[in-house]
Each structure stands twice: as C-alpha cells, then as structure tokens.
Structure 1
Amino acid sequence: MHELLEDLKQARRGSTIRQVTRGLTLPFRAARFLKENKKLVPFVIVPALINAVLFAISAYLLLTNAGDIVDWLWEKPVVDGLLSYLLIVLWYFVYVLCLLAAVVLSYVVVLVAGGIVASPFHDFLSEHTERILRGVDDVSGPDESIVGDLLRSIGSSAFIGLMYASLMLPILLLNFIPGIGNVTSTVLSACVSAFFVALEYTDPTLQRHGVKLRDKFGLIWDNLPLTGSFGLGTSLLLWVPLMNFICMPIAVIGGTALGIALEED
C-alpha cells in the first residue's frame, strides 16, 4: 500500500485539525505522486487540454457578452445631469459585477462540462492511480460492459455537475445585492464548491467500487473536515492561471486516494 493512501486512512481516524491539514495539502501531494509516477502523464494530457479549451471558450463567450447582458438588464444611462452621472457610475459597477460573475461562471462551466466530457479519461486515470496506490494489477469493479460502465460514469458526473450548477447559479445572483450579497455569495460558493469538488473527484473510485449515489453524498458529508478541505484546496487551485488546466487530473489522483480511504473502514 502506498504511503499516501496509508496516511489518508490514518488521517480519517485522526483529529479534525489533522483531517483539515491532510485535505488541504492533498492536491500538492497528488502532484508529487504524479511526478513520481510519470507513466500516468499520458492520462493527464487529454483532460488538461479539454479543460483549457472549455475554459477559453466559456470565458471568451461570457466576457465578450457581459456588456450586452447588462444592457439587456439595464440600458446605459444618458448623460444629462448630476443624477445621470451617478447612474452611470452605478451602471459601470453593475458591469464590473457581471464581468466577475462571468469569470466565476466560466469556472463553474469548466467544473461541470469538463467533468462530463473528460469523465472517461478521468476513469482511466483513476483506475491506473488506484493500481499504484494499492500495489495490485487489477482494480476492476463489478462486471459490466465497457459501454455500460462508460455511460454510468458520464451519467453520474452529469448528475453531480448539474446539481452543482443548479445551486451555484442562484448563489451568483446574490452578487447583485450590494454589500452583504457579495460576502454571502463568496462564502456560500466556497462551501458548495468544496463539497461538490470533493464529490466529483472521489466519484470515479466510488463508482468503480459500486457505491450508490446517496452513499457517496453520505461519505463526503460524514467526513467533511477531510473531504471539504480537499475540495476547498482543489477549488482554490482552479483559480491559479495555467495551474487550473492540470488541476483536474491532479484532483482525480487525489480524489482516488481519498475515495479509497473513505470507502474502506
């Protein structure tokens, strides 16, 4: 058994502080694991390219249309007095909020769409990672056709992604409430992202082991100090330029180790 997996199992039985520490640092240890096991690199390249393309497309479309969205919601005031100047300042404030919301929404799009599109590649990476972590040659789950297993994996990722998006969209709208709305949106989005990122990247392993969707939610919730900190650390890395393109495959590696530790008592 690899030391990374053994450490996570011990952390799960340890104190809350230890769980949070191990969860936050898991993405970095997963990156080191990838560096030590270069045969996994081919399984990382395709998902990284998919993430880069999706982020570029979504960010471009959302940012270039942010002005039109603001105009649709509120036509830019015409300068004809002191009040109009104040309204223009407020209009630009709303415009900046829309730009920020567009960036955040691009992040959500990458998480949701990237998780679905790259799901088959994540499964391959997760399976090969588990082989190394366990030191075995076969980690296949219940007998099922390749097509059936692929469809089940995509379906699970799609369901998790859509649930995440359905929660995030109303949270983003809170940004239009001055003051407390921005703070509330930031806190809620961080909490929701942490939970669903942990769920998304442990899912390939848990799915392969035949864990039901309801039980997946239960495992994440019951081990929240460990899983939530992993999700939070991974979410923060997604905001780092260039790093975010390879963050998802690294998260799959970390999520695989975490999923095994959660699923095994």
Structure 2
Amino acid sequence: MRDLGVGFGRLLEGQRWMARHDRQYGFGLLPGLITLVLYGAALTALAIWGDDAVTWATPFADDWPSPWLGLFRGLLTVVLFALALLLAVLTFTAVTLLVGQPFYESLSERVDRDVSPDGTAPQSGLPLHRELWISARDSLRILVRAALWGVLLFALGFLPVVGQTVVPVIGFFVTGFFLTEELTAVALQRRGVELRDRLTLLRSRKLLVWGFGTPLGLAFLVPFVAVFLMPGAVAGATLLARDLLGEETAEARDADETADGDEDEPVSGS
C-alpha cells in the first residue's frame, strides 16, 4: 500500500515543482486550452444530439410501450455520454501532449536535470518529427486499448447493482493507469523505452501507478482543472518515471549521505 502514497506524492511534487518554476507555466497552459475547446465542442454536440443518435441506433425499440421506451433510450443516452466523457479523459492527455510536444519534452528534461545527482537528463537523439511520429503512433495504440476497456465497461454497466457501483470504480482505475502511461511516456521515450516495455513496467508497479493516475483522472473530470494541472502532471510523471526505473535523485542521495554521516558521528560520553 506504500506505493499508493508514493504515487500520489509524486503527483503533488510535480505540481509543487511547477509552482517553483512558473516562468514557462503560461506556455504550458496553451496546449491544454486548445484541446479543451475542441473536446468541449464535441461533448456539447453530443449532449444536444445524443438523443437523436440513440434513437437512430435503436429502431427495434420504436414500438415499445411507455414508459419502457423512454427509460431504455434515456439510459442509453446517459451511458453514451458517460462513455464519451471517459474517452475524453483518457484521450485528453494524449492529444494535449501531441499539441504541446516541444514544451512538455523540454519541461520533462528540465525536471530530470533538476533532480538528477549529476545535473544531466537523458536525450533521445531523435529529430522532432520522429519524436512526434512515435508519440502519435504509441498514443493511438493506447487509445485502442482504452477504447476496448471502455466498450467492456459500457457493457458491464448494464449489470444490476454491480454496473452502478463496482464498474465505475474499475473505470477510474483504468483511467488512472492509461493517464499515467501517457504522461510517463514523455520521460520514458527519451530513455528509449518502447511501448511494450513501458506497459510491462507500469503493470509491475500498479499501486504506484494508481496512486498517481487515479486521483489525477478524478481531477480531470472537473472542467478546466486538466488544463491547469497538465504541466505539473508532466513534471510529476517524470519523477514517477525515475521511480519506475530505480533512478536516484539528488534529494535521495543527499538524504542517504546525511544518514551515513549521522551513523558515523561518534557518540559523546557524559
């Protein structure tokens, strides 16, 4: 259970790091704002025409008596919007990272240099267009996985009681996992860690991943919050990536040296 607290702590540390380096914070908000406007327009359109879409997709229910027709289509409309909202949360990070790739890449490198004992950061050595291609390709693969989970959870949502209690909780943990994958990818791609290896790494530390990603996913459900948390989330994910790879930080090194010094200090007698 300790990993849950560590993961959440990395999320908070990322936000604090960003607060101490606010010069570029304004630029970090722009990609999120652009993505938010696009997603807001799509969800608004779904809210307006969702009923029509459900009616078109369920012609077999046209002759059902009242109130079953209204209840059935009303439930499907709600579930459809909930699924769209889940997918929006899952894909918001990927789209925002693509829009703001140069900034977030630079931000992640700066965090690495700041916390690294030797003040250096791993470099991918790839040109920007190659990094964009890899990021877009991997994000699409993650989106397919997330969509499959979304369809499964959508179907399970029809189960009595379980669909309204257990399934939403599972959905939040799934969201947290994929959010963490997208965010840590910025730092892990610079280290040459491929998608398959990243997923294996994340699965090996699920509690750490959930501690970071699940609270962030819940926060992202609040309008505009994702925009303001995104730069700090990238910073925190860089710290989390170092944890996943077992990389030492300057803070941990100094703490170890202090502890060693205390142990070596002779105890004075009375």
1:219 aligns with: 201
Distance 2:133 2:68 in 1: 54
Give the Å deviation of 1:225.
Answer: 1.6
Is residue 70–residue 94 contact of structure 1 (8 Å, CA) maintained in 2?
A: yes
Distance 1:207 1:248 in 2: 18
Which of 47, 64, 69 is residue 48 of structure 2 equivalent to? 64
Q: Does 1:196 align with 2:178?
A: yes
CA 1:168/1:151 → structure 2, altered by over 3 Å: closer, same or farther?
A: same
Aligned alpha-carbon RMSD (Å): 2.7
2:16 aligns with: 32
Distance 1:50 1:206 in 2: 25
CA 1:44/1:136 → structure 2, altered by over 3 Å: closer, same or farther?
A: farther
1:1-265 maps to which residues of 2 (within 5 A)? 16-17=1-2, 19-74=3-58, 83-134=65-116, 138-265=120-247
Alignment-mate amino acid for residue 215 of structure 1: D
Give the Å deviation of 1:137.
Answer: 6.1
Distance 1:224 1:253 in 2: 20
Distance 1:56 1:136 in 2: 43
Query: Does the residue aligned with 1:84 lie in a helix, a strand or coil?
Result: coil
Q: Matched residue pairs, number?
A: 246
Is residue 94–residue 182 contact of structure 2 (8 Å, CA) maintained in 1?
A: no
CA 1:43/1:130 → structure 2, altered by over 3 Å: closer, same or farther?
A: farther
User: How big is each residue's C-alpha offset from its partner over 1:33-83, in whole Å with a ceiling of 9 and x where there is no partner?
Assistant: 11111133144122221332232122123222211122123358689xxx5
Alignment-mate amino acid for residue 23 of structure 1: G
Give the Å deviation of 1:189.
Answer: 1.5
TM-score (norm 2): 0.78
Distance 2:198 2:131 in 1: 17
Percent identity between matched residues is: 25
Distance 1:77 1:151 in 2: 46
For structure 2, the residue ranges without an aligned partner over 5 or more in a row are 248-270
Is residue 87–residue 147 contact of structure 2 (8 Å, CA) maintained in 1?
A: no
Give the Å deviation of 1:203.
Answer: 0.8
Distance 1:151 1:71 in 2: 39
TM-score (norm 1): 0.79
For structure 1, the residue ranges without an aligned partner over 5 or more in a row are 1-15
Give the Å deviation of 1:99.
Answer: 3.4
CA 1:155/1:119 → structure 2, altered by over 3 Å: closer, same or farther?
A: farther
CA 1:38/1:228 → structure 2, altered by over 3 Å: closer, same or farther?
A: same
Query: Does the residue aligned with 1:65 lie in a helix, a strand or coil?
Result: helix
